[in-house]
Amino acid sequence: MATHTLDQLRAIFRTALELDRDAAVDDLEYRGIESWDSVAHMVLVSEIEDTFDIMLETDDVIDMSSFAKTQEILARYEVSFE
């Protein structure tokens, strides 16, 4: 099982959602923040797939509605965080 740091995932969220470098992201939810629109979501998906070298299924792309949910989904792709 590939292990990464949660900071890597946080950085991906900040880039995709165009947030400040030290913005808190752990509680983020889709629709809870204006910059998380469909374009940002696709950037998020791309970055996650590239960084962790996985291919997300349709159901997972549309279920990735929060930072916490994203971690759950990634666990199913054997991507875990320390």
Partner 1 sequence: MASPTEFDPLEMGSTTDGLALVDEFGEYSFADLRKAVESKSLELVGEKDGVALILFEPTMQAIVFYLAALRSGRTIILADRRSKAEVIGNIIDRYGVTLEFGPGDNVTVHGQDGPTPNPATPQILLPTSGSTGSPKMVRLPHSALRANARSIAAELGIGFNDVAPTTLPLHYSYGLSVLNSHLVAGAALALIDHSVITRQFWDDFDRYGCTSFAGVPYTYSMLARMRFSPTDHPSLRTMTQAGGRLSVELREKFHSAMDEVRGQFIVMYGQTEATARMAVLPHAEFSDRRSSAGRALKGGRFSVLADNCETDTANVEGEIVYYGQNVMLGYAEDQADLHATDSCGGRLLTGDTGQLDTEGYLWLSGRKKRIAKVFGERVDLDDVERLAASITEPVAATSGSDHVVIFFEGEDAQLATTLRTHIASELGVHRTGIEVQTLPALPLLNSGKIDYADLARLAQGAAPPSDKEEHES
* Contact residues for partner 1, defined by CB under 8 A: 18, 30, 35, 37-43, 45-46, 50, 55-58, 61-63, 65
Return the number of the residue (5 or 37) whose C-beta is nearest partner 1: 37
The answer to whether the Cα torsion of 52, 28, 35, 14 is positive or negative is negative
1/55 with CB nearer partner 1:
55
Distance (Å, rounded) from C-alpha 13 to C-alpha 45?
10
Minimum CB separation of residue 3 from partner 1 in Å reads 25
What's the min distance (Å) between Cβ of 62 and partner 1? 5
